[in-house]
Amino acid sequence: MNVAFIPVRGGSKSIPLKNIKEINGKPLVYWTALAAQKSNCIDKLVIATDSKEIKSIVNGFNFTKLEVYNRSAENSSDTSSTESVMLEYIYNSNLKDDDLFFLIQATSPMLKAEYIDNMYKKYTKIDCDSMLSGVREKQFHWTFNKNDNNYITPINYDYKNRPRRQEFMGILAENGACYINTVKNIKKDKCRLSGKVSFYEMPSYTAYEIDEQEDWIIVEDLMHQFSNK
């Protein structure tokens, strides 16, 4: 079984009730839930929430694959990790060790069903234990020197031999949209990723995650241009 799991909670300090605030005409969580609902490879869609209001709105989507899970207060605080609610659900469900667990985050509303399906196809074709989605960045990155922040050191290129953009592989950045792992691995490692990790590349505009108000403005504009209309 392939399970898509979307954790959402009622508390949000930066944007109150962020997960059900409307973006592009629908609640934020609707868009990733829709992607999972329309995905050919997803058998069950689970939205885990501690909020009665979110539960009511989510049930109103009338998605055939949807199951709402009542996450505990212990795993719904500001300091709770995503892994904690993943494990809570896994241990309280009837999932088998070889079932695939797709962690999907509501803060990535430009996720599409085709991305989930293509990511799954890649996962099944190569020898990897887990996979994450992300984008390729072709900027030249630097970091501060460990001993003196007045100076910087390049991370992903040699500034004395600056490559042409066409020849530059760039670096990979998580976009937070989707992660795939087996239930067995998650229980063993207590982590969304395990072992040999592979990468599924998504379009560059999917790099944005909604955490602050300015992200909301940018993502809504990008959705109008590129994504779900």
Distance between CA 66 and CA 198 in Å, rounded? Answer: 28
* Catalytic member of 9, 71, 136, 162: 162
> Which uninterrupted H or E stretch holds 103?
strand 100-104
Catalytic residue list contains 192: no
Q: What is the pLDDT along the chain (229 residues), one digit of tens a residue?
A: 999 999 998 766 667 678 989 989 999 999 999 999 999 999 999 999 988 999 999 999 999 999 999 988 777 767 779 999 999 999 999 899 999 999 999 999 999 999 999 999 999 999 999 999 999 988 888 999 888 889 999 888 888 988 887 878 888 999 999 999 999 999 999 999 999 999 999 999 999 888 878 888 888 888 888 755 5
- Residue ranges covered by each domain of the chain: 2-136+172-226
The pTM assigned to this predicted structure is 0.91
Contact status, residue 206 vs residue 119, Cβ threshold 8 Å: no
Superfamily designation of domain 2-136+172-226: Spore Coat Polysaccharide Biosynthesis Protein SpsA; Chain A (3.90.550.10)
